[in-house]
Amino acid sequence: MTDKVGKFRVALIVPSSNTVMENDFHAALPKEQFSVHTDRMYLVETTREAEVKMIKEHAPAAAADLRTVHPDLIVFGCTSAGSLFGLDYDAEICSNLGRVAGCPSLGVISSVASALDATGARRIAVLTPYNDDLTRAVARATVSSQREVVAAYGMGITDNVALADPTPRDILKFAKATLSGTKFDGLFVSCTNFRAYEAREALQSAFGVPVVTSNSAAIQAVLARAESNLGSHN
C-alpha cells in the first residue's frame, strides 16, 4: 500500500447526481485500511445519449483531478454507462481512465460479471431502476457462455438523482412483483445510485438465491485488488 499511513487509496468517479455509491464505499471499506476520494462526472439524465457524453467529456477530467491524490486504484462508478456496448467497452473506458489517473482501474459492470461467475448461477434475473434501453444494455452485458438472463425489469426512472429515491423496501417490493413465478438461481440488481446494497440481505432471504448488486460487486473487487496489492509488497 502506497499511502504513508498505510491506507489503500481508492479514486472513485461517479455521476455528479449520484448520492449512494460513495456512502456505500465509506460504510463497507474498513477505514483503517482504505481512504476513498471521489470526483464527479456531470450527469442529470439517465439516458444513453447523456451517458456517452459523460464518458467522453467529463470522465477524463475527473480522472485527471484524482491523479493528484496518487491513487492505488481508480473505479469507474457507473454500471449502465459501462455496459452500453458490452464488457469490452467497459474495459476500454477503464483502461483510458487508468492511464489518465496514473493507476490501475476497475469497472462496475466488469466487477459484476466476476461476482456472478463466483456464484456459479446459470439463470440470472436482472433488476434496474433504468428505462428499457439501459435495462436491456445491462442485461446483455450480464450474459456469458455459462450464464443466461431469464428476466430483466426496470423501474423506468430517467432522472439520475431520482434513482436513489426507492427505499430498500421499495426495491424488495418491486422484485417480488416482477419476478413472481420466474425461475432463476441468481439475481443482479444494477445501478450504483440505487439502494440495492442495503436491500441485498432481504432480497437473498426472499428469493433464496445469491444476490449481486453494482456496489457489492465493486466493493468486493476493491477489496480483492487491495489484498493483491498487499501480497505483492510482502
| Mean pLDDT value across residues 109-122 | 96
| pLDDT above 70 for 230 | no
In a shared domain, residues 46 and 102: yes
The CATH number for 200's domain is: 3.40.50.1860
Q: Is 223 left (phi over 0), alpha (psi -120 to 50) or beta?
A: alpha
> pLDDT tens digit string along 151-177?
999 999 999 999 999 999 999 999 999
| pLDDT above 70 for 18 | yes
| Mean pLDDT value across residues 133-153 | 95
Q: State residue 231's pLDDT score.
A: 54
Percent of the chain with pLDDT over 90: 91
> pLDDT tens digit string along 55-93?
999 999 999 999 999 999 999 999 999 989 888 999 999
Q: State residue 3's pLDDT score.
A: 47
Is residue 73 one of the residues assigned to a domain?
yes
In a shared domain, residues 140 and 52: no
Is residue 116 one of the residues assigned to a domain?
yes
User: Are 192 and 79 spatial neighbours (Cβ–Cβ below 8 Å)?
Assistant: yes
Is residue 144 one of the residues assigned to a domain?
yes
Is residue 76 one of the residues assigned to a domain?
yes
* Size of the chain, expressed as the number of residues it contains: 234
Range name among 18-27, 189-198, 200-209, 221-230 with the lowest pLDDT average? 221-230
In a shared domain, residues 118 and 85: no
By residue range, what is the domain housing residue 99?
Answer: 8-107+216-232
| Mean pLDDT value across residues 9-13 | 98
In a shared domain, residues 14 and 26: yes
In a shared domain, residues 182 and 223: no
In a shared domain, residues 175 and 99: no
The CATH number for 39's domain is: 3.40.50.12500
User: Are 189 and 214 spatial neighbours (Cβ–Cβ below 8 Å)?
Assistant: yes
In a shared domain, residues 103 and 118: no
Q: Domain tally for the chain?
A: 2
DSSP string over 92-160: HHHHHHHHHHTS-EEEHHHHHHHHHHHHT-SEEEEEESS-HHHHHHHHHHH-BTTBEEEEEEE----BG
Is residue 1 one of the residues assigned to a domain?
no
User: Are 208 and 175 spatial neighbours (Cβ–Cβ below 8 Å)?
Assistant: no
| pLDDT above 90 for 98 | yes
Question: Does the global pTM surpass 0.85?
Answer: yes
User: Are 214 and 95 spatial neighbours (Cβ–Cβ below 8 Å)?
Assistant: no
> pLDDT tens digit string along 21-51?
999 999 999 999 999 999 999 999 999 999 9
Is residue 223 one of the residues assigned to a domain?
yes
Is residue 2 one of the residues assigned to a domain?
no
In a shared domain, residues 190 and 97: no
| pLDDT above 70 for 107 | yes
| pLDDT above 70 for 233 | no
CA separation for the pair 59, 45 (Å, rounded): 16
Q: State residue 5's pLDDT score.
A: 56
In a shared domain, residues 100 and 163: no
User: Are 111 and 25 spatial neighbours (Cβ–Cβ below 8 Å)?
Assistant: no
